[in-house]
A and B are shown apart, each in its own frame.
Chain A
Amino acid sequence: MKINRREFMGGALGASALAGFPMPAISQSAPIRIGCITSLVGGYSQFGQNHVRGMEIAAEAINAAGGVNGRKLEIVVRSDDLKPETAVAAARELAASGVRIFGGVNSSGVALALSGIMGELDSVLLTAAAHGNNLTHEDFRPNYFRVTDYSAMRIGAGSHLMAQRYPNVRVWGSISPDIQVGRSVVEVYNSRLPEAYRKLHNAEVQLKDTVWVKFGATDYRNEIARLISQGIEGLVIGVGGTDEATFLQQATQLGLASRLKAMYTTGSEFVAPMALKNRMPANFWSGFHWYYGAYRDNPIAKQVVETFRAKGYGQHPDGFIGMAHTVVLAIAAAMKNGAGDSSKELIPALEGLKFDTVKGPTTLRKEDHQALCDVNYALIGPANNQDGWEVIDSARIDGTPFAGDPTPGIALKFG
């Protein structure tokens, strides 16, 4: 009897299926591929690079310990160029090659675009940075989780910290970019700062008009003059990244920084001190996704810091490292609890998940998939050392009271 190739293939596949040939076993031992979509070009690329590093550090540690249920983790990296359309294209491309779990993401706009297609791709997205209030509120998507704090928590906790540390600073100003995350920051600050002073000191604070700036501006001198003319004593800074460095550079030159008794930011982490070095202003509190110095007692944090330094990445791992690491830990914890890597299994396993991270125990709230975790701030000033700056003080604030009620599908309300 002559058998052609087509008949042979059909027969072989049929026989394999009947015999329970180890085809499912192949997928069970195959690595769990996690797509890291983040910004690897442009002014935010250093954060994106640290997303990659953080996820890789976590994957390497888990793989060295035997993987997740015997399966290794593999991080597949794509750049979103900080553009939603590029991110969506990257996610579709990775999904076509079998990737069902995504992490990373810097921008809230990119997170919003990606969360919108996760259901269609039967995938799950866990972001490590995007800060917009909307992502876990009015724009909530079931296939989206955020493992770090967000604007409401960060600025809420920061406002509380300011009221605690600077009880006599009563005239506050704000500068923020005219984009969604900037509006979120000001909305929270307008509500939470007066609330904190009332609660802690039974005192009223005066909030001056917000100074709105163009995203990506190179000149803040007029805005600085306006802030000086407002006679403020404290300032919340909503501009981030390169813009924050430019603003602080010009604010120190024009004497605004020296007039202020307190400043706090949404969080460019070490960007400002690394840029300004010994020209850093005093009383500058930088917000962090994770400030490693506040967790010297945490074994996971300790391991991340040691690996980061051993790999020669530098001396100061930032929160982008820490939160990207947390993304991988969340996935591993959910899968260790028995979930597969499909979104149908992973989403219920992630909902309400409590797991240990670089910031200690973190819970992914069941209702809106928002992480309930610490909020970190560090007081950074100039120093006569190799860096030119040093962390003078730091704060670990429980973010839960500032996270607000879970209202998936409904915008967060303030005041």
Chain B
Amino acid sequence: MTMLYLYSIFNGLVLGMAIFLVSAGLTLAFGIMKIFNFAHGAFFMIGAYVAYAVTGQEASSLWIFLAAALIATIVVGSIGVLADLTIFRRLAGVPADYTLMAAFGIMLFCTGSTRIVFGQGIHAIYPPAILGGIADIGIPISYYGLFIIACGLAVFLMLEIGLNRTWLGKQILAVARDPWMADVLGLRVRRLKLISVATSFALAGLAGGLLVANQALSLDLGHSYLLLAFCAVIVGGLGSIRGAFIAAIIFGLAESLNSVLMPTMPGISSYALLIILVLIRPHGLWPEQSQ
């Protein structure tokens, strides 16, 4: 039984990092645009399909797998630039409801377009051989699981350092916290917003490329992660990368341990946890200063 708990904790960490990879872009977009980007799940799905188009059912090497994830990042980031220039920027001066509706429309458009390009089939994608193995240390630890944990940590560190320790990151944070003052001080607000939006979309693409081999690929892929990603963003504190990281781990562990502790009520712990944490800390575990 102890082994089952340990295994469950390992899987919870893998799931937590997967949730974080998806929620990182979501919370960044919220920090800048101040909206919940409903299209984020669709862009995550597009990233996964792009990676699949590059690698096929199984990437021949780790480098091809990583290159596919990079291509997915660039493609989805470019779509983000396009979406910002043609839609989000035009809606900057109107109430947030319109932007929300636009994001919903983009989601429908993306799903429909993906369906036309890739069809409606379901695909099982496998990690490259080097990540396909399992280390049996009493519990079966998959190399791909370790890879996802490493990717989650790397993305978290990059965002933390990028936003808090670099000049560009500090400018982005300034725009997120007070765009008017940033504009008065001479920062190129539009350009910084564009970079932020592109980065948040690119993160969705990266998550799609890295997680494509974690579960079956279908048009529903975005929905399956988006709900937990939203939970992580809300509980972590809207717009907070650190908060999303901690909350994603909490939700990953909760989901995973749920199947061991309450096997007849699958999935219930996440919703219970969401209610409890929002009641206890309505502003989030690690509230972002701009909110």
Contacts and interface: CB of A to CB of B under 8 A. Distances in A.
A246 B215 contact: yes
A218 B266 contact: no
B220 interface: yes
Interface string B104-142: 000000010001000011111010000010100001101
A213 B266 contact: yes
A209 B263 CA distance: 10
B214 A242 contact: no
B223 interface: yes
Interface in B218-277: 218-220, 223-225, 255-256, 259-260, 263-267
Contacts of A41: 111, 115, 219
A275 B11 contact: no
Given A218-B225, A222-B11, A43 B220 contact: yes
Given A222-B8, A225-B7, A279 B266 contact: no
Contacts of B7: 221-222, 225
For B140, B218, B223, B255, the residue with the greatest tally of chain A CB atoms inside 10 Å of its CB is B218
A366 to B, nearest CB: 37
Contacts of A229: 4
Interface residues of B, number: 40
B122 A275 contact: yes
A142 B215 CA distance: 42
Contacts of A242: 122, 216, 218, 220
Nearest to B1: A229
A42 B14 CA distance: 26
B15 A253 contact: no
B140 A211 contact: no
A225 B215 CA distance: 16
A221 B144 CA distance: 13
B216 A246 contact: yes
Interface string A205-235: 0000101111011110111011001000000
A63 interface: no
B135 to A, nearest CB: 12
A275 B134 contact: no
Contact of B259 (A42, A209, A222, A279): A222
Contacts of B255: 219
Contacts of A250: 215
B263 A212 contact: yes
A41 B112 CA distance: 8
Count class of interface residues, chain A: 35 or more
A277 interface: yes
A108 to B, nearest CB: 18
Given A219-B15, A223-B259, A279-B126, A46 B216 contact: no
A241 interface: yes
Given A242-B216, A246-B216, A49 B124 contact: no
Nearest to B133: A253
Contacts of A275: 121-124, 216
B214 A245 contact: no
B216 A211 contact: no
A42 B225 contact: no
Contacts of A13: none
A411 interface: no
Nearest to B15: A219
A240 B96 CA distance: 38
A79 B47 CA distance: 26
B6 to A, nearest CB: 10
A226 B4 CA distance: 8
A392 interface: no
What 5 A-B pairs are tightest by C-beta distance, nearest first?
Answer: A214-B267, A43-B220, A245-B216, A46-B120, A249-B124
Given A43-B220, A214-B267, A253-B142, 19 more contacts: A43-B218, A49-B120, A212-B263, A216-B220, A217-B266, A219-B214, A219-B256, A222-B8, A225-B8, A225-B140, A242-B218, A243-B216, A246-B124, A250-B215, A253-B126, A253-B132, A254-B142, A277-B124, A279-B124
Interface of A: 41-43, 45-46, 49, 178, 209, 211-214, 216-219, 221-223, 225-226, 229, 241-243, 245-246, 248-250, 253-255, 271, 274-277, 279
17 contacts: A42-B223, A45-B219, A46-B122, A216-B223, A221-B142, A221-B145, A222-B4, A222-B8, A222-B256, A222-B259, A242-B122, A242-B216, A243-B216, A245-B122, A249-B124, A249-B215, A275-B216
